[in-house]
Amino acid sequence: MASTKFDLSGKTALITGSAGLLGMEHGVALLECGATVVLTDLNKAALDAAAARLGQDFDRSRFHVVEMDVTRPEAIAAVAQTLASQGRRVDVLVNNAAIDPKVKGEQGVRETSRLENFPLEQWELQIAVGLTGAFLCSQVFGAAMARDGKGGVILNIASDLSVFAPDQRLYRVPALPEDQQPVKPVTYSVIKTGLVGLTRYLATYWADRGVRSNALSPGGVYNGQGEEFVRRLSALIPLGRMANRDEYRSAVQFLCSDASSYLNGQNIVMDGGRSAW
Ligand SMILES: NC(=O)c1ccc[n+]([C@@H]2O[C@H](COP(=O)([O-])OP(=O)(O)OC[C@H]3O[C@@H](n4cnc5c(N)ncnc54)[C@H](O)[C@@H]3O)[C@@H](O)[C@H]2O)c1
């Protein structure tokens, strides 16, 4: 029988960016542990679709969908207020929202993913969502966890690119000149490394109030990417493959529950061994 330390019955978990590929999986993970889940996202239509899918396996009363833009402090405060007025305490916060633009590259097109061309507005937007958003949500929901002394958990979803630089050879397009080759943007490394810093800061800041904070750094999830990209990436991974979308669920369950009660301030890298090579 599974340890009762994974049991999140009676707890509420709020996930940001939960209408996306992994946000949904975090939702399933936490619902499986018995939590009530508040799925939040910028994209209402995608949220409704996610709710419909979750509704096939879980009782509709166990999860709520709420539109929330993590870049807007007033939107986060409004959600916190609504939940509080319903008598709901957020015990677990999963900072998952991000903008991860797909890297492609086209003949004759100025390649804006490259550092030399990277637009300031993209830098600002991506950091606003991926890093500032995590700070703002932690500020509101983490502070509330600390305030009443009942503790809680903040889980920041980083990436294996929080511990090493992108291997830009993965994204190369044959026959394109060097200055048009697409790359993984600089923002990704900066945001994911920054989230690990935020994790350590939070882990120590509210430790005496029982609030733990850890980061989960997933490796790439297979989601129908091109064959050549998958081949190149798989060759960098000792397990020889990308992750399946559901393979982070058990880590989320561990990190968000008392099963990890003595883990604090850590970055758990789940990358099929890529960073070990
Ligand atoms: N998919 C992977 O291979 C992978 C690998 C490592 C890390 N990650 C990380 O996991 C997390 C989830 O990734 P994913 O693949 O599910 O991405 P995704 O693009 O499928 O989902 C991200 C979600 O964030 C939402 N979002 C964007 N801006 C927002 C805002 N301002 N406020 C609220 N929500 C907003 C989007 O609407 C989307 O639903 C991200 O932090 C990502 O960097 C993903």
161 CB near ligand 1 (under 6 Å): no
247 CB near ligand 1 (under 6 Å): no
132 CB near ligand 1 (under 6 Å): no
List per-residue pLDDT tens for the chain, 277 residues long.
567 999 999 999 999 999 999 999 999 999 999 999 999 999 999 999 999 999 999 999 999 999 999 999 999 999 999 999 999 999 999 999 999 877 777 777 789 999 999 999 999 999 999 999 999 999 999 999 999 989 999 999 999 999 999 999 999 999 999 999 999 999 999 999 999 999 999 999 999 999 999 999 999 999 999 999 999 999 999 999 999 999 999 999 999 999 999 999 999 999 999 999 9
Dihedral angle over CA of 160, 165, 168, 169, nearest 10: -80
Closest Cα to atom 36 of ligand 1: 17
> Quick one: pLDDT at residue 105?
77
27 CB near ligand 1 (under 6 Å): no
What's this model's pTM, rounded to 2 decimal places? 0.98
Closest Cα to atom 30 of ligand 1: 69
Closest Cα to atom 32 of ligand 1: 69
Closest Cα to atom 21 of ligand 1: 20
> Quick one: pLDDT at residue 149?
87
Long-range contacts of 253-256 (CB under 8 A, 24+ apart): 253/6, 253/29, 253/30, 253/32, 253/33, 254/6, 255/153, 255/155, 255/214, 255/216, 256/8, 256/13, 256/29, 256/30, 256/33, 256/35, 256/92, 256/94, 256/153, 256/155
